[in-house]
Amino acid sequence: DPPNLHMENTASVSRLNCRAKGGAAGFRVAVLGAAGGIGQPLAMLMKMNPLVSVLHLYDVVNTPGVTSDISHMDTGAVVRGFLGQQQLEEALTGVDLAIIPAGVPRKPGMTRDDLFNINAGIVRTLSEAIAKCCPNAIVNVISNPVNSTVPIAAEVFKKAGTFDPKKLLGVTMLDVVRANTFVAEVLGLDPRDVNVPVVGGHAGVTILPLLSQVKPPCSFTPKEVDYLTDRIQNGGTEVVEAKAGAGSATLSMAYAAVKFADACLRGLRGDASVVECAFVTELPFFASKVRLGRIGVEEIYPLGPLNEYERAGLEKAKKELESSIQKGVSFVRK
Ligand code: NAI
């Protein structure tokens, strides 16, 4: 039998199980790739989220340590660790939300597409297990290239007969988080008061900040628009270069992933007006502003009025997106 990694000492195990089952308003969340650079802080922040009653941490390495460590935090969620493929199905059984930060990150000089060969297979394997064990769960895909890994997950779910476009979301929240930060800097505002819609996809020119729709309403000089667009599109590369070979964004990504997961859980709980940007599978695949609810994506908002600069950006984005989507689809179909 695989080792028991549930990290619950025998004396407390039955009470924890009771708590996990009884957990009145809590959701069950699985993090796949939980021992990684993103996975660890993401797991920690999810353990702090009051909407989570059970937190499953899965990875192919090091989950015992991460699970033991995080399980000592005196917050509500019960934490369980799962190590290696033979425990994947157990990790996914009964979960309401599966978050996927598994896969290799970029090094300087790499594009997100350079990660395709390794991460495509990882996302396919994890999606197959989701289709089998928790076909109704909301799925948040973080693994890059998101523009291709979300189509991969969609194809796997279609093959399995479990595809629900309302439940599969690519996480583009970090682009929004960066956009809010950089725009706030330019405007001299608190980033918490700024909201920048970012649509399209999650790589280079497919990242399309809609600076004409920033809240609070404001205007930018053409120079500011160029600076902000470039910085938002290349924010990830900025971090990759600063880390100089030690990986890509992990801490800000974990923050963004939890901000997004929390929105999904608030939607599931039935909160009204939960609106965020995410890479969704309709139209056919495109990051848009969406309303999250009890069944996942309940509404996809139209792009709204774009200015000429944004319309040109959209054309560029569409072209690159199309080939990234096709690459993901053919990976599963071939
Ligand atoms: P990392 O290498 O630090 O961690 C990845 C983890 O995935 C490792 O613990 C590894 O053991 C695990 N893993 C590998 N194969 C697995 C499998 N088959 N099943 C489960 N776990 C597996 O990488 P990091 O920095 O955490 O990045 C993870 C991914 O997130 C990368 O693909 C990266 O490009 C992407 N990313 C996405 C962003 C976004 O905005 N969507 C932003 C930043 C990174």
99, 113, 127, 143, best to mutate for ligand 1 pocket (most atoms within 8 Å of CB):
143
Rounded distance from Cα 106 to ligand 1 centre (Å): 10
* Residues taking part in catalysis: 202
Whether ligand 1 lies within 6 angstroms of the CB of 35 is answered as yes
Residue 190 to residues 26, 176, 181, 195, 206, Cα–Cα distance (Å): 32, 15, 8, 11, 27
Across residues 3-13, what is the average pLDDT?
47
Using omega within 30 degrees of 0 as the cis cutoff, is the peptide bond preceding 145 cis? yes
Tell me how far apart the alpha carbons of residues 100 and 275 are, in angstroms, rounded to a whole number: 21
Parallel, antiparallel, or unpaired for β 296-300 and 78-83? unpaired
User: What is the pLDDT confidence band of residue 257, given thresholds at 50, 70 and 90?
Assistant: very high
User: What is the pLDDT confidence band of residue 9, given thresholds at 50, 70 and 90?
Assistant: very low
Rounded distance from Cα 120 to ligand 1 centre (Å): 12
Rounded distance from Cα 52 to ligand 1 centre (Å): 22
Specify the DSSP class assigned to residue 81.
Answer: E
The confidence score (pLDDT) of residue 284 equals 86
Q: Token match 């600063």: residue?
A: 242
Tell me how far apart the alpha carbons of residues 126 and 121 are, in angstroms, rounded to a whole number: 9
Taking CA atoms only, the protein residue closest to ligand 1 atom 8 is 36
Nearest-CA neighbor of 78 among 113, 43, 105?
43
Whether ligand 1 lies within 6 angstroms of the CB of 212 is answered as no
Rounded distance from Cα 32 to ligand 1 centre (Å): 9
Q: ipTM of this model?
A: 0.99
Tell me how far apart the alpha carbons of residues 203 and 187 are, in angstroms, rounded to a whole number: 25
Contacts of 131 (CB under 8 A, 6+ apart): 156, 157, 159, 160, 162
Across residues 87-100, what is the average pLDDT?
98
Across residues 191-207, what is the average pLDDT?
97
Tell me how far apart the alpha carbons of residues 331 and 334 are, in angstroms, rounded to a whole number: 6
Radius of gyration of the chain (CA): 19
CB-based contact 328:149 (threshold 8 Å):
yes
Whether ligand 1 lies within 6 angstroms of the CB of 145 is answered as no
59, 90, 152, 252, best to mutate for ligand 1 pocket (most atoms within 8 Å of CB):
59
pLDDT at 17 over 70: no
Helix axes 222-233, 173-187, angle to 10 degrees: 150
Confidence (pTM): 0.95
Helix or strand run (H / E) with residue 71: helix 63-71
Indicate the SS3 state at residue 292.
strand
Q: What is the mean pLDDT of the chain?
A: 93
pLDDT at 77 over 50: yes
Whether ligand 1 lies within 6 angstroms of the CB of 204 is answered as no
pLDDT at 103 over 50: yes
Burial of 215 (0-12, 13-18, 19+ CB in 10 A): exposed
